């Protein structure tokens, strides 16, 4: 008989047996199986009762569809064709001897509700079985296997155990709780109660009491409600189930006690009440505890509401807002009422937090239970008017747990530190400025020492040479021409030192806010012409031709000395950086301003240096190329801005530079 014929049927195990390569098992190919084995297998496959077969010396396993659920997860389907000892190592000490009895002596066995723990669903489970082991005979009539017919009874056994335990617990609870029992005689309108019930109601002893006599023991505030509840329950409300909490009047000088009464009415076929029985339990301690809990909740809610920092509570994995105090709403929601936020998820309430990392942090805290503390965290928030606001916050996300210890939400504590962050930035900027100032100071001292030393050295050399000349040749060596050259050179170096010292004094006055100016009505056209005329010898000596375009009659209120200082700086720079090249000077009126400009045809200044050259100690070239402190243009800018004007340079490499400034005429 072939496998398809032997394992016929549409069940799972029939299909698995057809697919299995039995030639690789100790049972060998299906065609070689004994008739007895084939008969047992066909019987099993077509039975709706759980059946299991161990066959041969190695107890190779076969089982039917009805047995599969008993495996749970873990052993099935690999158990098919597996030796029994390998499949059931955890219970072999229990079932092994029983199987041996069957295999050796052919002795059948029967067990009811037997506990046989097995490994399934990833753990050892206590499983109860009612099962029988029967010998399975081969074609020669010898015992060659063990047939198991079984039923798992775990649910029933555990249910019976639970019921038994519940009854016992109920008995103990009733005894330990001090609950009293009662029965209301509907026809006689009398209530029979036990000793505990009588004690609760302040009655002298157990026995039968008129209902009105019992109601007199109830606190007046609840008496009529209790009477109405009894009447409604007897009339069939809530299918005759009765639950009521009320106070019982205590002895004089004692507090009233709280009682929880529960009962059930039994009705006849016509709906008439036949029996009304129940219990009464002293719940005074519970009521006091509930009052304490309510008070504590109110205090806690008051703390959350009045706390100076922002507090919110999220519920569930989607972080639904269930509470938010006023500081929280003020910080993140421009002071809107909390009702606008409640019952919304964080993603619904704060969509602008997308891609800012906060959603991911919340999800992580909810999943792991580990708190997160953020310090000076940046957040970009959308205000009520639709504008975005950058803010910095310190915050804590703390997992919130239910009484069972499971995470059910997140407590959010947050306060804004934007001002502190900005102050810190200012401090850091001041520190950076201080470092830059120190570097600039050191640079300035180095340059200033060099620049001041140069004219002093020149004067010293000239003086020493003239001293030796006087010693060797006397006064005759000093002709009028030689004396003029000597005095001109000395004056040149003195003027240079004077400019350096005045520049340093001006920088000091500007830094301390003590730069003073005297503004008077001045003919700026005449002023420009006078400055240019004074510089004609120096321009000529440098090989620079001067072209002038001065609009006449322009008058402005200014400090002539300071403006002359700016123009002097422009001219000295033109001579210094563009010797031998033409210089173009221009003064013109432009609406309500007067514009001064000086253009040279020197090497020009790259655009990236246009702003830098107006900074202290900065120059467009290296100190090794051209002398100077790098203060002239800085001072010029401060002077022009003090006049309410503006100063700038227009230049590009290879096309000279035009320095210009504009002053108001009003």
Burial 281-305 (b: 16+ CB within 10 A, else e): bbbbeebeeeeeeeeeeeeeeeebe
Say if residue 541 is in the same domain as residue 616.
yes
Backbone angles phi, psi at 564, to 5 degrees: -60, -35
Say if residue 500 is in the same domain as residue 526.
no
Q: What is the pLDDT of residues 297-346, one digit of tens each?
A: 888 778 777 878 888 899 999 999 998 888 888 887 775 676 778 889 99
* Run of H or E residues at 264: strand 257-267
Residue ending a domain, among 444, 473, 504, is: 504
Is 113 inside any structural domain? yes
Q: SS in 3 state form for 491-557?
A: HHHHHHHHHHHHHHHHHHHHHHCCCCCCCEEEEHHHHHHHHHHHCHHHHHHCCCCEEEEECCCCEEE
Containing domain of residue 277, as a range?
A: 178-288
Say if residue 152 is in the same domain as residue 26.
yes
Distance CA 561, CA 508 (A): 18
Say if residue 262 is in the same domain as residue 207.
yes
Say if residue 36 is in the same domain as residue 146.
yes
Distance CA 532, CA 520 (A): 21
pLDDT for residue 174 is more than 70:
no
Residue with tokens 């155990």: 161
- E strands, 340-382, in order: 372-382
State what percent of residues in the chain have pLDDT above 70.
90
Is 295 inside any structural domain? no
CATH code of 315's domain: 3.30.450.20
Is residue 127 within 8 A of residue 152, CB to CB? The reply is yes
* Alpha-helical regions (H) of 372-417: none
Is 361 inside any structural domain? yes
Tokens at 132, concatenated: 């029988």
Residue ending a domain, among 239, 259, 288, is: 288
Count the Cβ atoms, other than its own, within 10 Å of residue 654. Answer: 9
Give the pLDDT mean for 24-50: 92
Is 1 inside any structural domain? no
Say if residue 551 is in the same domain as residue 621.
yes
Is residue 375 within 8 A of residue 415, CB to CB? The reply is no
Residue ending a domain, among 416, 435, 461, is: 416
Count the Cβ atoms, other than its own, within 10 Å of residue 473. Answer: 10
Is 511 inside any structural domain? no
CATH code of 459's domain: 1.10.287
Distance CA 16, CA 82 (A): 13
Q: Please state the length of the chain.
A: 666
Say if residue 535 is in the same domain as residue 566.
yes
Distance CA 313, CA 114 (A): 52
Q: What is the pLDDT of residues 183-222, one digit of tens each?
A: 999 888 999 998 889 988 989 899 999 999 999 999 999 9
Give the pLDDT mean for 453-468: 71
Distance CA 598, CA 574 (A): 8
pLDDT for residue 495 is more than 80:
no
Is residue 593 within 8 A of residue 577, CB to CB? The reply is no
Mean pLDDT of all residues in the chain? 86
CATH code of 625's domain: 3.30.565.10
Residue with tokens 């050179």: 489
Is residue 116 within 8 A of residue 99, CB to CB? The reply is no
Residue with tokens 């730069």: 515
- Spacing of C-alpha 51 from chain mean position: 57
Report the domain count for the chain.
5
Q: What is the pLDDT of residues 594-610, one digit of tens each?
A: 999 999 999 999 999 89
Q: In what order do the strands lie in the sheet with 60-63?
A: 60-63, 51-55, 143-152, 128-137, 109-115
Say if residue 137 is in the same domain as residue 183.
no
- The predicted pLDDT at position 37 comes to 92
Banded model confidence at residue 506, pLDDT cuts 50, 70, 90: low
Is residue 340 within 8 A of residue 368, CB to CB? The reply is no
Is 477 inside any structural domain? yes
Peptide bond into 586 cis (omega under 30): no
Banded model confidence at residue 618, pLDDT cuts 50, 70, 90: low
- The predicted pLDDT at position 191 comes to 94
Say if residue 125 is in the same domain as residue 63.
yes
Q: Could you tell me the pTM of the whole model?
A: 0.39
Listed in sequence order, the residues at least 6 apart from 523 whose beta carbon sits closer than 8 Å to its beta carbon are: 553, 554, 555
Give the pLDDT mean for 47-57: 93
Q: What is the pLDDT of residues 368-420, one digit of tens each?
A: 999 999 999 998 888 777 788 888 999 999 999 998 999 999 999 998 888 89
- The predicted pLDDT at position 451 comes to 53
Say if residue 55 is in the same domain as residue 137.
yes
Say if residue 212 is in the same domain as residue 313.
no
Is residue 567 within 8 A of residue 531, CB to CB? The reply is yes
Is 163 inside any structural domain? no
Is 297 inside any structural domain? no
Say if residue 533 is in the same domain as residue 444.
no
Distance CA 473, CA 468 (A): 8
């Amino acid at each position: 008989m072939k496998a398809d014929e032997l394992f016929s049927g549409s069940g799972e195990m029939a299909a698995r047996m057809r697919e299995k390569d039995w030639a690789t098992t100790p049972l060998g190919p299906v065609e070689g199986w004994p008739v007895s084995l084939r008969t047992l297998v066909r019987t099993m496959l077509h039975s709706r009762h759980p059946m299991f077969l161990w066959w041969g010396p190695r107890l190779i396993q076969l089982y039917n569809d009805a047995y599969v659920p008993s495996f749970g997860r873990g052993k099935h389907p690999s158990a098919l064709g597996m030796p029994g000892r390998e499949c059931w190592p955890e219970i072999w000490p229990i079932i092994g001897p029983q199987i041996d009895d069957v295999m050796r002596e052919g002795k059948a066995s029967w067990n009811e509700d037997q506990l046989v723990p097995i490994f399934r669903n990833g753990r050892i489970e206590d499983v109860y079985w009612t099962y029988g082991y029967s010998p399975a005979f081969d074609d020669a009539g010898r015992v060659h296997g063990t047939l198991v017919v079984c039923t798992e009874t775990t649910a029933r056994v555990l249910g019976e155990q639970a019921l038994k335990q519940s009854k016992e617990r109920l008995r103990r609870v009733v005894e330990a709780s001090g609950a009293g029992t009662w029965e209301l005689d509907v026809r006689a309108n009398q209530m029979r109660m036990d000793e505990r019930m009588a004690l609760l109601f302040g009655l002298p002893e157990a026995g039968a009491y008129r209902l009105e006599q019992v109601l007199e023991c109830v606190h007046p505030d609840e008496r009529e409600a209790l009477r109405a509840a009894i009447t409604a329950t007897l009339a069939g409300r809530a299918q005759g189930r009765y639950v009521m909490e009320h106070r019982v009047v205590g002895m004089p000088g004692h507090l009233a006690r709280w009682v929880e009464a529960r009962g059930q009415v039994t009705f006849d076929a016509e709906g008439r009440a036949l029996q009304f029985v129940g219990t009464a339990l002293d719940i005074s301690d519970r009521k006091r505890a509930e009052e304490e809990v309510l008070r504590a909740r109110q205090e806690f809610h008051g703390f959350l509401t009045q706390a100076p920092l922002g507090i919110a509570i999220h519920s569930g994995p989607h972080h639904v807002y269930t509470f938010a105090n006023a500081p929280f709403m003020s910080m993140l929601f421009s002071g809107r009422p909390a009702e606008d936020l409640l019952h919304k998820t964080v993603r619904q309430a704060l969509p602008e937090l997308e891609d800012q990392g906060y959603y991911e942090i919340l999800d992580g805290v909810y999943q792991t239970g580990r708190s997160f503390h953020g310090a000076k965290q940046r957040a970009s928030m959308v205000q009520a008017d639709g504008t975005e606001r950058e803010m910095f916050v310190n915050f804590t996300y703390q997992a919130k747990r239910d009484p069972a210890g499971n995470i059910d939400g997140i407590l959010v504590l947050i306060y804004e530190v934007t001002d502190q962050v900005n102050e810190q930035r200012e401090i850091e900027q001041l520190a950076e400025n201080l470092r830059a100032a120190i570097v600039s100071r050191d640079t300035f001292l180095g340059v200033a020492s060099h620049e001041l030393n140069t004219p002093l050295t020149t004067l010293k050399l000239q003086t020493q040479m003239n001293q030796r000349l006087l010693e060797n040749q006397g006064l005759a060596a000093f002709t009028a021409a030689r004396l003029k050259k000597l005095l001109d050179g000395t004056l040149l170096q003195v003027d240079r030192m004077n400019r350096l010292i005045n520049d340093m004094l001006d920088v000091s006055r500007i830094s301390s806010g003590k730069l003073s100016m005297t503004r008077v009505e001045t003919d700026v056209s005449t002023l420009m012409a006078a400055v240019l005329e004074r510089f004609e010898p120096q321009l000529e000596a440098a090989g620079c031709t001067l072209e002038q375009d001065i609009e006449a009659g322009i008058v402005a209120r200014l400090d002539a000395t300071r403006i002359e200082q700016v123009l002097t700086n422009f001219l000295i720079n033109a001579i210094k950086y563009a010797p031998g090249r033409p210089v173009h000077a221009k003064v013109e009126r432009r609406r309500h301003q007067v514009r001064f400009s000086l253009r040279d045809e020197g090497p020009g200044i790259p655009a990236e240096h246009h702003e830098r050259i107006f900074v202290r100690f900065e120059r467009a070239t290296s100190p090794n190329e051209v002398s100077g402190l790098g203060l002239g243009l800085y001072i010029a800018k401060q002077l022009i801005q003090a006049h309410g004007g503006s100063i700038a340079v227009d230049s590009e490499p290879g096309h000279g530079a035009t320095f210009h400034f504009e002053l108001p005429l009003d």
